[in-house]
Amino acid sequence: DRWLKGKGIVEDSIIKDSLAAVSVGISRGEKLLDLSFQEDSQASVDMNVIMTGKKELVEVQVSGEGTSFSRAMLSKLLDLAEAGIAKLIQVEKGAIGIDEWNWC
């Protein structure tokens, strides 16, 4: 983005938002973020969440693996995913050298 602006190729930022994805789930009764292969294979609930830096959902895929789960648990898992995604987005910002994006 800065390189393109520095070369005069673009005038404004081409980055419109950040994006990150995490897996969350319940394995052995515990809510987990970023499940390992073993945890995922034993999970009673498995969910993948993709979210923007503006905290807008892009995709949510969730399934009960042989069991059901409550709407309250769905909300708790979404909160856990959102917290994990927020950390990833901070890493993204650091990687490209931006503390704050004015569109976030």
* pLDDT tens, position by position, 61-84: 999 988 999 999 999 999 999 999
pLDDT at 101: 58
Q: Can you give the pTM of this predicted structure?
A: 0.83
Q: Is the per-residue pLDDT at 20 higher than 50?
A: yes
Q: Are 55 and 82 in contact (CB under 8 A)?
A: yes
Task: Summarize the confidence of residues 40-69 as an average pLDDT.
Answer: 95
CA distance 21 to 84: 9
Kindly indicate the confidence band of residue 104, based on its pLDDT and cuts at 50, 70 and 90: very low
